[in-house]
Structures are given as structure tokens and as C-alpha cells.
């Protein structure tokens, strides 16, 4: 069996885990996905995915323990009552240090996506960027929608492809530096907030980057712009 997956939060209805990078949520031809690994680790027959992470992305992943919980999460995501925050690193300076990236998502060749001027399949991502290790920028991203490759495309569009993300022409590295860092929501009147600092990736673990991440321990408290795409339903 593979190394144990770290359990970040265990609830009777769901579990929140730290997904390692370079592992898919589902089985692949040559590699087991995280779903069967977790079922074996938790000694359960089945878990339900309520959202997804790309194979290259590490960090927070939520799985329901029964269909009723999966349906509740489906409603929470549909109503945009779940806040998610991601960390990313780029070797390129962005066109602007903070802001919002908005555009329609269009699939192009080779499995890539791009932004275009359309109101179809609109993706909205807010971000702040910070100086991290020499020559690198650390990004804190708050996606307000949940489109495939949304963050990867957003950072590419502002001139800062993610370090290690070869699909979007990021600088070469030992991993893709995208990490699901924090999630906040209210589940049946219980406020849930889980923070998951990255535990792999030499750039994430460098002193300067660690110091900057430590300053972002309450990402929801930053001065994010108000948006029609997200209306919080709980007290700050």
C-alpha cells in the first residue's frame, strides 16, 4: 500500500485530506488514484468526490462518506457557499500584483484551455502576489468559479505561468507549484475552516516562501474585492 494520506479533518459525513501532488483522484493505467487508497486506509467501501483537483495539484480535497453528504456539498458548491484558497509560485512577474482575472474558458488543442471574450463558461479568479524566494513570486488565489484549469490559465494570462506547469509554459521544476491551501464553509450550521500549508516542493519549503506563507494564515481576512460571483453566508 502507498504511504498514508494525511487526514486534515474527519467528520461523520465527510473527510478532508491533503492530496499529494502527482497522484490522480481516480485510478490510472499505471497508478492507483487517491480514492481507492483512501478507501483502504479508512476501511470503507466507498467515498464520494465532491470536487476535484488536477493530478499536478496538491492540498485540500473533500470526500463525502455517503450520498446524502455528497448532495449537501453539491448544493454548497452550486450556491458558491464554499471558499477556497490556493497557493502558487511563478518564475515570472505578473502584469499586475493583485486583481481579478475574468473570462470565458475555451478548450484548445493538447488538453489546454484559454480565456476568451465570451460570457460562456466564465471563470473568475482573484489573486494577490508577493515576493518570495529570489526571482520567484508567491500567489494567493481565490477562485470564485470552479472551471477546469482555471487557476493555471488565469496565471498564464497575466504573464505568470505556474512554476513546473509545462502545459502552460511554466519554467521547468521538480513539481508543479499549485497547492489547495485553505477551505471554509458551513456544514449543517457548523463552521468548518481547514488550513493546509504545503509539505512538499523545495520552493514551497524554502525559508523566504515559508515566511510569506505564514503571513497568510487567515487568507479570508485580506481585502478581497466584493464580487457578484461569491456571497459569503457566514460571519467573518
For the question of residue 165 being annotated catalytic, the response is no
Concatenate the DSSP letters of all residues of 116-132 into one string: ES-SSSEEEEEEEEEE-
Provide the sign of the torsion angle of the four alpha carbons 211, 184, 34, 151, taken in this order. Answer: negative
Distance of alpha carbon 52 from alpha carbon 62, whole angstroms: 8
- How many Å apart are CA 118 and CA 218, to the nearest integer? 34
DSSP letter (8 states) at residue 235: -
Measured CA to CA, the distance from residue 76 to residue 36 in angstroms comes to 25
Rounded distance between C-alpha atoms, residue 125 and residue 19, angstroms: 22
Nearest-angstrom CA–CA distance, 134 and 188: 45
The catalytic residue among 10, 13, 18, 54 is 54
- Rounded Cα–Cα distance for residues 165 and 2 (Å): 25
Residue 217, all three cell numbers: 494564515
What residues are annotated to the active site?
A: 54
Amino acid at each position: 500500500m502507498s504511504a498514508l494520506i494525511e487526514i486534515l479533518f474527519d467528520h461523520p459525513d465527510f473527510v478532508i485530506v491533503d492530496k499529494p501532488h502527482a497522484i490522480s483522484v481516480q485510478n490510472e493505467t499505471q497508478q492507483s488514484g487517491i480514492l481507492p487508497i483512501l478507501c483502504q486506509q479508512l476501511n470503507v467501501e466507498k467515498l464520494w468526490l465532491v470536487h476535484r483537483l488536477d493530478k499536478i495539484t496538491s492540498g485540500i480535497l473533500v470526500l463525502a462518506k455517503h450520498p446524502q453528504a455528497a448532495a449537501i456539498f453539491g448544493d454548497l458548491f452550486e450556491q458558491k457557499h464554499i471558499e477556497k484558497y490556493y497557493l502558487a509560485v511563478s518564475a515570472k512577474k505578473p502584469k499586475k500584483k493583485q486583481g481579478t482575472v475574468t473570462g470565458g474558458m475555451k478548450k484548445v488543442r493538447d488538453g489546454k484551455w484559454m480565456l476568451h471574450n465570451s460570457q460562456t463558461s466564465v471563470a473568475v479568479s482573484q489573486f494577490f502576489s508577493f515576493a518570495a524566494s529570489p526571482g520567484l513570486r508567491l500567489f494567493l488565489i481565490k477562485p470564485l468559479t470552479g472551471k477546469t484549469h482555471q487557476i493555471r490559465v488565469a496565471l498564464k494570462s497575466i504573464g505568470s505561468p505556474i512554476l513546473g506547469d509545462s502545459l502552460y509554459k511554466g519554467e521547468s521544476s521538480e513539481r508543479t507549484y499549485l497547492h489547495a491551501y485553505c477551505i471554509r464553509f458551513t456544514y449543517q450550521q457548523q463552521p468548518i475552516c481547514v488550513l493546509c500549508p504545503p509539505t512538499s516542493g523545495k520552493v514551497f519549503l524554502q525559508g523566504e516562501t515559508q515566511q510569506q506563507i505564514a503571513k497568510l494564515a487567515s487568507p479570508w481576512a485580506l481585502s478581497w474585492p466584493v464580487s457578484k460571483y461569491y456571497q459569503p453566508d457566514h460571519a467573518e
